Amino acid sequence: MPVFTHLENDRARMVDVSAKGEVYRKAVATGTITLRPDTLSAIRDGTVVKGNVLATARVAATLAIKDTPRLIPMCHAIPVHGIDITFDYTKTGITATVTVISAGKTGVEMEALVGVSTALLTIWDMVKSAEKDEKGQYPVTGISDIRVLEKVKQDL
């Protein structure tokens, strides 16, 4: 029978990390949203009717990173010491890369992944009217390749 770290007597529980020492932690996550060429041009040109898409996505990702423990049930609230969010245009979309830095007792991978996911979802929300076809569907739009690129854990 496996031993579960977040389950005790069939009850979910958060792992106690109080005995762990604080260490430097960094996680870098990425993901991509595929968009229509006209939508990409509108984002680049700053002509999207809802406003500045990437600035809005950057703010949304920052807020989501800070709210990760409210979204992921067993995540610990950790001190977030640094956040960097970048966007790169590809031929078919935009790649978001999120770096989260902390000094704490547990990692920051979930924060980076939540940040990337929220940035990409915000982009989608900001341009959804341009992405829909005549039937209200999204034949091109998609979010993919969300993953952790790097995890760092070092003594302070």
Q: Report the predicted TM-score, pTM, of the whole model to 2 decimal places.
A: 0.92
Query: Residue 52: its pLDDT value, please?
Result: 98
Q: For residues 54 and 39, what is the distance between their CA atoms, to the nearest angstrom?
A: 13
Q: Where do the structural domains in the chain lie, given as residue ranges?
A: 22-155
The CATH code of the domain at 22-155 is 3.30.70.640
Q: Which stretches of 9-141 are assigned E, i.e. beta strand?
A: 11-12, 23-34, 82-89, 93-104
pLDDT at 115 over 80: yes
Q: For residues 62 and 78, what is the distance between their CA atoms, to the nearest angstrom?
A: 14
Confidence of residue 1 (pLDDT cuts 50, 70, 90): low
Is 145 considered catalytic here? no
Question: DSSP letter at 6?
Answer: S
Confidence of residue 26 (pLDDT cuts 50, 70, 90): very high
The one catalytic residue in 45, 67, 125, 155 is 125
Closest CA to 143 of 57, 78, 76: 57
